[in-house]
Structure 1
Amino acid sequence: MLELLRSVFGLYWPKLTWKLYYWFISPKKVTLTLLAIAVVALIVSRPRYRRRMMGACMALLVAYLFLLSPLFSAPATALLSSFVPADSGQPADAVVVLARAGRLQGDRYETALDMVATGRSPNLLIMGRSQGADVVKALDQRHLSPHLVSAVCVQTTKQEAESAAAALGAKGLQNIVLITDTPHMLRAWLTFRGLGFTVMPHVEPLPATVGYRERSLLAIREYLGLASYALLGRLQGQSPNTLSEVAKAVADDFPADRCFMTADQLRQVFMLS
């Protein structure tokens, strides 16, 4: 029963948090919702409770506006990054780049290509099909030819870590540079270490165009993610297995012919020249 609850929770929780993210990012929607609740409370509640209901709604609105302010976003993000060690700059078996949607991804792929160009690693693992195609195009433009693999069956940080184990762990590639943004790095670092990787985290700052409201909600989402991953046993020190054992355990979930694409396969699918 517990395992069933874990699987259901793990399946729907990421989708729920992103839906809440896009809803909470709109002050207009949240304010109108709270006003609607206040109006309903005034209509249906007893007179002696109306003041309390109105006070509660106003308190929620003030708390919401505070959470979306720079007074919260800056320290909340800084706290997340304070636990992550700095990138040592040492050579690695592979560079692993985690996915973000749209402009949230920043310059992470250019950073990864720079690492390849300077010889830090000959192996590049990209999360996402379209992201992999973009990286292949950039590699061709820069005349770089690392061994690239794109993981195309991933939606969550857990799946990204497990797919990395399937792609790299079976080959004995354990020492990685992990690239993702500031809010996400702590959870990603702990998750990858929990599977047995030796991780050098390379934090990619969020673009300047990402406002403090989005930064606040990304930080809140990560705090919720850390709590849920701890509850589900996905963080560092909670897995007794070695990376090779994890690679064997997840091999059936990430078959090579369906879940990984090489640079040549991406060129064929996306007709890249």
Structure 2
Amino acid sequence: MTLTLVVVAAVLFFAVGARYRRRMMTVVVGVLVAYWLLISPLFSWPATYLLTRFVPPDTGETVDAIVVLARESAIQGKRYDTAIDMMASGRASKLLVMGRMQGHWTFRSLQERNLPADGLVNAVCVRTTNHEAHSAGAILGSQGVDNIILVTDPPHMLRAWLTFKSLGFSVIPHMEPIPDGVASHERTFLALREYFGLISYAALGRFERRPASELPQFAQTVANDFPRDRCFMTADQIRQSLSRS
């Protein structure tokens, strides 16, 4: 981006008349400074902090299920290890993991640690935060589960927390830190995407809350969108899938 701006500035410098060059260079320098500030920690850290400011802390309470949201591998951190640790400590007996590869990895980790995988369910028909919340409503709501721990990274938590609460879930947020190796410009992108996501979801009415008593009814409503035979894998199905690969 910096190189592009420099090239554009050089082209414009020779293309415009002398009387406009100083004004043009002032604009280019201003854009460069704004861009460098945007991708620096001076912007990314406060922007992320504001996204987490209104999210309550993890209370340590026992719940019915742990729900782990998907992220690309470079950003996901140790969220799956954390969720497994929570299960091992008895905080929940059910674990819902979003994303096929993430579910396979979690299953292998449970096996390596000699922990039972019976409570593991893998949601595989998810692409967005809204999909993740609706798939959780479809599978957990139909089982009478409404008390969950929600695990995701700090920038994503506010939007995810509000979305899951809107379906009637009682949500304990657990924010898993982004790995230290993630650069500040990537953190800026994550934060900005969440601000746009919050505005979009609010405009679409996705934060309007339902009572917990309506969660089973909601599960029936979205059952066709997230059929069990195609969109969810049990531990046994994951085991069979891995044995064939």
Work out whether the TM-score is over 0.5: yes
Aligned to 2:149: 177
- Tell me the amino acid that sits aligned with residue 37 of structure 2: F
Structure 2 residue 178 is the aligned partner of structure 1 residue 206: yes
Amino acid at match of 2:215: L
Q: Distance in 2 between matches of 1:225 and 1:251?
A: 25
Q: CA deviation at 1:80?
A: 1.0
Greater CA drift, 241-250 or 176-185: 241-250
Contact 1:137 1:272 (8 Å CA) reproduced: no
The residue aligned with 1:127 is 98
Deviations 1:135-191 (A, max 9, x none): 000111112224111000111111000110011011110000000011111111011
SS at match of 1:143: coil
Does 2:49 correspond to 1:111? no
Cα drift, residue 43 of structure 1: 6.4
Q: Determine whether 1:152 maps to 2:124.
A: yes
Gaps of 5+ in 2: none
Alignment match, 1:4: none
1:67 has 2:38 as partner: yes
2:238 equivalent to 1:266: yes
Shift of 1:245: 2.9
- After superposition, the Cα gap between the structure-2 partners of 1:190 and 1:268, relative to the gap in structure 1 and judged at 3 Å, is same
Larger deviation: 220-229 or 161-170?
Answer: 220-229
- Partners of 1:269 and 1:63 in 2: how far apart? 50
Structure 1 vs Structure 2: percent identity of aligned residues? 56
The alignment status of 1:32 with 2:7, answered yes or no, reads no
Would you say the 8 A contact 1:192–1:236 is kept in 2? no
In structure 2, the partner of 1:255 is 227
TM (normalized to structure 2)? Answer: 0.91
Equivalent position SS for 1:269: helix
Matched residue of 2:191: which SS? helix
SS in 2 for 1:210: coil
> 1:225–1:47: structure 2 CA closer, same or farther, 3 Å change rule?
farther
Q: 1:56 deviation in Å?
A: 2.7
Cα distance in structure 2, aligned partners of 1:106 and 1:65: 26
Q: Which amino acid in the other structure matches residue 95 of structure 1? A: I
Change in Cα spacing, 1:125 to 1:62, as seen in structure 2 (3 Å) is: same
Per-residue CA deviation, residues 75-94 of structure 1 (Å, 9 max, x unaligned), is: 11111111100111111111
Secondary structure of the structure 1 residue equivalent to 2:95: strand
Gaps of 5+ in 1: 1-29
Structure-2 change in CA distance of 1:45 and 1:225 (3 Å): farther
* More divergent stretch after superposition (244-253 vs 47-56): 47-56
Matched residue SS, 1:176: strand
Alignment deviations for residues 204-255 of structure 1 (CA, whole Å, 9 cap, x no partner): 1111222222222211121111111112221253x68932232122111111
2:66 to 63, 81, 95: 95
Inter-CA distance 246–51: structure 2 relative to 1 (3 Å threshold): farther
Of residues 39-48 and 154-163 in structure 1, the stretch that sits farther from structure 2 once superposed is 39-48
Structure 1 residues 258, 200: closer, same or farther in 2, change over 3 A?
A: same
Q: Is 2:202 the partner of 1:220?
A: no
TM-score if structure 1 supplies the norm length?
Answer: 0.82
Code of the aligned partner of 1:89? G
Looking at structure 1, the residues matched to 237 and 64 of structure 2 have their Cα atoms a distance apart, in angstroms, of: 22
Specify the code of the residue in structure 1 equivalent to 2:243: M
| Superposition RMSD in Å | 2.2
